Amino acid sequence: DTAVSQTPKYLVTQMGNDKSIKCEQNLGHDTMYWYKQDSKKFLKIMFSYNNKELIINETVPNRFSPKSPDKAHLNLHINSLELGDSAVYFCASSQDHPLAVAKNIQYFGAGTRLSVL
Amino acid sequence: EDQVTQSPEALRLQEGESSSLNCSYTVSGLRGLFWYRQDPGKGPEFLFTLYSAGEEKEKERLKATLTKKESFLHITAPKPEDSATYLCAVQEGSWGKLQFGAGTQVVVTP
């Protein structure tokens, strides 16, 4: 069983379109994350949810909107896609606790490669 | 200003040729330093967490160490299957916000 699964694996779309990426984890974790990995392989955090509550919201265009229907799912919706949005998007989860770094081991999905044409 | 810097950017090793990767960080209140391995087309895979200066952890041919300013990932007698990009990340705040370095791409040739 895949612990953190993302769909789709590849997404090719035109500029201006709206698209969604889905993420599900079966680890029973309380916290989920979205990261963006650009062409230089730099992984940057975008959002984090703990028990469906937004706890990290980095400087990300408001065209990106995360949604967490329950603690096992965190989806990412992107409006009006731009060329610069092309990247690999990773979902991750952890059994996070603010006082316990040991529980912050983050488990990543395989990524969604988004190409905006 | 970069908080996590990894060097070298790329490393080519012969099988059995040991080497070290460096991760230097400038965060003020380090809560944890993480090493991940990333294979092409896959997500990062957790390797180690280090919490305080002087700590060391080992797994097969890999050994991670931590000082107050940097961490090293030592690869002893590497094999081709150790080829991957190794990522370092630091946690500074209370929640799980990780700052990643750009990674070191390691290629081990037979």
Tokens of A103: 């529980």
Binned at pLDDT 50, 70 and 90, residue B92 comes out as: confident
User: Could you give all domains of chain A from N- to C-terminal order, each with its CATH number?
Assistant: 4-111 (2.60.40.10)
Count of CB pairs separated by less than 8 Å, A with B: 66
CA distance A56 to B58: 32
Task: Count the domains in chain B.
Answer: 1
Q: Quick check: B100 and A94 CB within 8 A?
A: no
The whole-angstrom distance between A34's CA and the closest CA on chain B is 11
> What confidence category does residue B24 fall into, taking pLDDT thresholds of 50, 70 and 90?
very high
State the number of CA atoms in the 13 A half-sphere of B90 facing the CB: 24
Per the prediction, chain A carries an average pLDDT of 90
Instruction: Retrieve residue B107's tokens.
Output: 């290629």
Give the CATH number for residue B104.
2.60.40.10
Tens of pLDDT, residue by residue over B64-91, are 999 989 999 999 999 999 999 999 999 8
Determine the pLDDT at residue A95: 85
**pLDDT for A43-82, tens place per residue?**
999 998 888 888 888 878 899 999 999 989 999 999 999 9
**pLDDT score of A55:** 83
Closest partner residue to A45 (CB to CB) among B31, B85, B98 is B98
Q: What is the pLDDT of residue A50?
A: 85
Using the predicted structure, report yes or no on whether residue A30 has a pLDDT greater than 70. yes
pLDDT beyond 90 at A90: yes
**To the nearest whole angstrom, how far is the Cα of A73 from the nearest Cα of chain B?**
17
Task: For residue B98, give the nearest of A4, A41, A106 by CB distance.
Answer: A106
Q: CB of B37 within 8 A of CB of B84?
A: yes
Q: How far apart are CA A78 and CA B98, in angstroms?
A: 23
Asked whether the predicted pLDDT for residue A100 surpasses 70, the reply is no
* More confident: A29 or B28: A29
Residue A59, pLDDT score: 78
- Domain housing B76: 4-109
What pairs with residue B89 in β-bridges?
B34, B100
Task: Report d(CA B76, CA A58) in Å as an integer.
Answer: 38
| pLDDT at A96 exceeding the cut of 90 | no
